[in-house]
Chains A and B, each alone.
Chain A
């Protein structure tokens, strides 16, 4: 789960990292008021869960409360990478920027440890810096049992050629950022830019933070920070039911158990000339209510011309899935053709149930995909003829 900049920065501040004063505004009038309170000048920043806000025009400096109101008016409602901006962060202007640094903590999967990534070349072009001059990115691993040592941040400060007088603050910020990472079960904490102000102090001007979804059950405060307004409603409903659902643009809906098999099913739909309409992993149990919800979500997309069920039983049992599909179809009135492929644990029992109900079945994944693509084409033909 990704957090907004304002949420990330507030969490950073709880761990002693200096951030600019500021507040969130949902209307231009609120932006004006906050700017007034900050002394008349501010930066207005779109709060959407994607990168590239600055380049899209979602960050504007205001020299007066009037200008803040105008800027907020321009930014609120703007679309950035498909996401609508419905709130802005109004921050005080940085007291001079002497240098922009980059600092992040994330998990290094191959070393299986948290890793500090730092660079003296922070700012919007950090990915280009990493690509063209990787020697300017410095890495240090953290022992999860011990935490950050001061000699590690001294090494980084030295590599980054930071002025001697900020080394102490740099240690506090790196160890604070790691505490923040650890306490909140983050998978990423990133400050870009971390600035050296005109007065020679360090400050986090921007913040990004991602939380490990598996840890949300023990992080209730963070779970409540989820911005449901930014989540497509279908995906939110799926999440509440324990299904993973991502809407795509194709014509074949699919319901699969297991993420790898779901991706393979989408790949094969494409291989046989269809386009997947969604990614849907029904999870381990595939209870009837989950199947019904999943089917409703798939059919809420009017571009769907056929639905392919591909369930390979392990923990999931084929007869339970078949009952789920049949009871879901009792609740949902639809003419969209469906192809069911069941294999594995209790598949024969499941197929027998489906056969009684005259469902179209398939023995292999390739056969199921070909049938689904064919019936989708046929149903399109029927629509054209009528």
Chain B
């Protein structure tokens, strides 16, 4: 048991022949993920010769899903083509799409998100490290060597900071149910609350770690959700306590965000919701051990 990805995940890799696509397809397959297809328009019929076996390549996601029963896709294509790749995966009816690509323009993501909201497709990312269910499946780039199976669920807006915390858990023998990196872009797919909801409902997750950072108000919204709906313990770390205040242009940002967005504001909101907040990611482990 876990959330979102597991032994039943049948993965389609969009952009399987690129440098990152190739490297991480091999890493995912080595971890045990069932990679069933690659998609590269124009290379349909060829094969990706992976270190763990060959993977058929298709011209389209829909064609790949029809032929292989793929139910999840991961996107390793440049920012210029990534929105189209997300539309395509959603149009093919895949229930879960993970987009790692960074630097996708915000106005593109607004349209993508609006398109996805009219369908049953869940998106993780963009600009995220993906997710991993130890012992079952890895869809993304979280190093397989730093996780171990267990019952702590982890959700994070950061990439490498997620690894930091997962690694500390594993070193202390504390296993994870699923680790989800939702990414830090302003407009994205699943947010903290969406993932917290799944962890709350997952019988194999006993408690949750939430890693946030300054900017936006997703942590404040998550705090309100936790106070109302979570029975499982949530422990947190918020990065950016030492960040200097930015030079703000215009008044609009200040009017919209008010005092939210700072580390202090987020920590106060989380503590008021009964969440313990660590001041060092290494200390999270001691707080939950």
Bound together: yes
Contact A107 B221, CB 8 Å, known A267-B241, A314-B141: no
B184 on the interface (CB 8 Å rule)?
Answer: yes
A275 closest partner in B (C-beta): B242
A134 closest partner in B (C-beta): B255
Asked if B103 and A49 make an inter-chain contact with CB atoms under 8 angstroms apart, the answer reads no
Asked if B143 and A266 make an inter-chain contact with CB atoms under 8 angstroms apart, the answer reads no
B92 on the interface (CB 8 Å rule)?
Answer: no
Q: From residue 125 to 149 of chain A, which have CB atoms closer than 8 A to chain B? A: 126-127, 130-131, 137, 144-145
Asked if A107 and B187 make an inter-chain contact with CB atoms under 8 angstroms apart, the answer reads yes
The answer for the CA separation of A264 and B145 in the assembled complex, in Å, is 22
Asked if B107 and A270 make an inter-chain contact with CB atoms under 8 angstroms apart, the answer reads no
- State the Cβ distance, B88 to closest chain A Cβ, in Å: 18
Residues of A within 8 A of B103 (CB): 213-214, 217
Asked if B184 and A214 make an inter-chain contact with CB atoms under 8 angstroms apart, the answer reads no
Which of A51, A110, A257 contacts B160, CB < 8 Å?
A: A257
Q: From residue 24 to 76 of chain B, which have CB atoms closer than 8 A to chain A? A: 24
- State the Cβ distance, A366 to closest chain B Cβ, in Å: 5
Asked if B255 and A130 make an inter-chain contact with CB atoms under 8 angstroms apart, the answer reads yes
Residues of B within 8 A of A340 (CB): none
A315 on the interface (CB 8 Å rule)?
Answer: yes
Q: From residue 110 to 167 of chain A, which have CB atoms closer than 8 A to chain B? A: 110, 112-114, 117, 126-127, 130-131, 137, 144-145
Residues of B within 8 A of A110 (CB): 217, 221
Which of B142, B251, B279 contacts A51, CB < 8 Å?
A: B251
Which of B163, B186, B241, B243 contacts A109, CB < 8 Å?
A: B186
B197 on the interface (CB 8 Å rule)?
Answer: no
A208 on the interface (CB 8 Å rule)?
Answer: yes
Asked if B242 and A266 make an inter-chain contact with CB atoms under 8 angstroms apart, the answer reads yes
Contact A248 B110, CB 8 Å, known A127-B254, A212-B105, A214-B104: no
A295 on the interface (CB 8 Å rule)?
Answer: no
- State the Cβ distance, A119 to closest chain B Cβ, in Å: 9
Which of B160, B186, B250, B252 contacts A260, CB < 8 Å?
A: B160
Residues of A within 8 A of B162 (CB): 260
- State the Cβ distance, A137 to closest chain B Cβ, in Å: 6
Residues of A within 8 A of B250 (CB): 51, 104, 188, 190, 192, 208, 210
Map CB proximity to B onto A225-262 as digits: 1 under 8 Å, 0 otherwise: 00000000000000000000010100000001111110
A182 on the interface (CB 8 Å rule)?
Answer: yes
Contact A343 B187, CB 8 Å, known A109-B217, A260-B211, A261-B158: no
Asked if B242 and A314 make an inter-chain contact with CB atoms under 8 angstroms apart, the answer reads no
Residues of A within 8 A of B252 (CB): 104, 106, 117, 188, 190
The count of chain A contact residues (Cβ–Cβ below 8 Å) is 66
Residues of A within 8 A of B230 (CB): none
Q: Which of A208, A269, A312 has the most CB of B within 10 A?
A: A312
B174 on the interface (CB 8 Å rule)?
Answer: no
Asked if B146 and A364 make an inter-chain contact with CB atoms under 8 angstroms apart, the answer reads no
Contact A260 B161, CB 8 Å, known A127-B254, A188-B249, A188-B252: yes
The answer for the CA separation of A260 and B225 in the assembled complex, in Å, is 23
Asked if B79 and A214 make an inter-chain contact with CB atoms under 8 angstroms apart, the answer reads yes
B213 on the interface (CB 8 Å rule)?
Answer: yes
Residues of A within 8 A of B79 (CB): 214, 217
A74 on the interface (CB 8 Å rule)?
Answer: no
Asked if B249 and A258 make an inter-chain contact with CB atoms under 8 angstroms apart, the answer reads no
Residues of A within 8 A of B156 (CB): 260
A169 on the interface (CB 8 Å rule)?
Answer: no
Q: Which of A106, A109, A218, A314 has the most CB of B within 10 A?
A: A314
Asked if B110 and A114 make an inter-chain contact with CB atoms under 8 angstroms apart, the answer reads yes
Residues of A within 8 A of B146 (CB): 343-344
Asked if A127 and B110 make an inter-chain contact with CB atoms under 8 angstroms apart, the answer reads no
Some 15 contacts from A to B, beta carbons below 8 A apart, are A81-B247, A107-B187, A113-B110, A127-B255, A145-B114, A190-B251, A214-B105, A261-B161, A264-B158, A267-B280, A268-B281, A270-B241, A315-B20, A343-B167, A344-B160
Question: Measuring CB to CB, which residues of chain B are less than 8 angstroms from any residue of chain A?
Answer: 20, 24, 79-80, 102-107, 110-111, 113-114, 129, 141-143, 145-146, 156-164, 167-168, 184, 186-187, 211, 213-214, 216-218, 221, 237, 239-244, 247-256, 258, 279-282
Closest 6 CB pairs of A and B: A260-B158, A258-B160, A208-B250, A215-B105, A260-B161, A261-B160
- Starting from the known contacts A51-B251, A260-B211, A344-B163, 16 additional A-B residue pairs (CB-CB under 8 Å) come to A104-B252, A113-B114, A117-B255, A127-B254, A127-B255, A144-B114, A192-B250, A192-B251, A212-B107, A261-B161, A264-B161, A266-B242, A269-B242, A271-B280, A343-B146, A364-B282
